[in-house]
Amino acid sequence: MKELSVLVCDDTELVRTQLKETLASIGVQTIIEAKDGSEAVSLCRKLNPDLVFMDIIMPNKDGIAALKEIVQINPGIKVIMTSSCSQQSHLRKALYLGAYTFIQKPISEIVIRDILYKYLDENTKTTTKV
């Protein structure tokens, strides 16, 4: 797998750990973690990851507010919004603000693998065009 850097942002440590373990088992070598939206924005500014998995509902700064800032910092970044509640208003707002996609928790390895391969496929096509 191409070298990817992925930021995992969730206020629940267990969710972060499970997602990091799944990403590592798939072959992602650079995994960064944040516990809230403020930390995610700061890490995106400093480290510029390729992908971000971000919970919507978090303390301090929620995922929607963080998404808005992150896409301003790096308009090309792919932010995958996650949530255990599927409120349509959150989904619509996240997609409107530039989220790559939205996935419902719990997140299966198959879904994560599909997202990574979709990203790699799109990125490869973009970089090989003349």
How far apart are the C-alpha atoms of 48 and 30, rounded to whole Å? 12
Residues 15-66 have pLDDT tens digits of: 999 999 999 999 999 999 999 999 999 999 999 999 999 999 999 999 999 9
Going by C-beta distance under 8 Å and a sequence separation of 6 or more, which residues neighbour residue 59?
Answer: 11, 36
Check pLDDT > 70 for residue 109.
yes
5-128 under CATH 3.40.50.2000, yes or no? no
Average pLDDT, the chain: 91
Once rounded to an integer, what is the mean pLDDT over residues 4-12? Answer: 97
32 within 8 A of 47, measured Cβ to Cβ: yes
* CB-based contact 76:100 (threshold 8 Å): no
**pLDDT at residue 86 in the model:** 67
Domain extents for the chain? 5-128
Give the pLDDT band of residue 125 (cuts 50, 70, 90): low
Please tell me whether the peptide bond between 106 and the residue prior to it is cis, using omega within 30 degrees of 0.
yes
Q: Which of 22, 113, 32 is nearest to 121 (CA)?
A: 113
Q: What is the pTM of this model?
A: 0.90
- Residue 126 has what pLDDT? 53
Count Cα atoms within 13 angstroms, Cβ side, for 118. Answer: 11
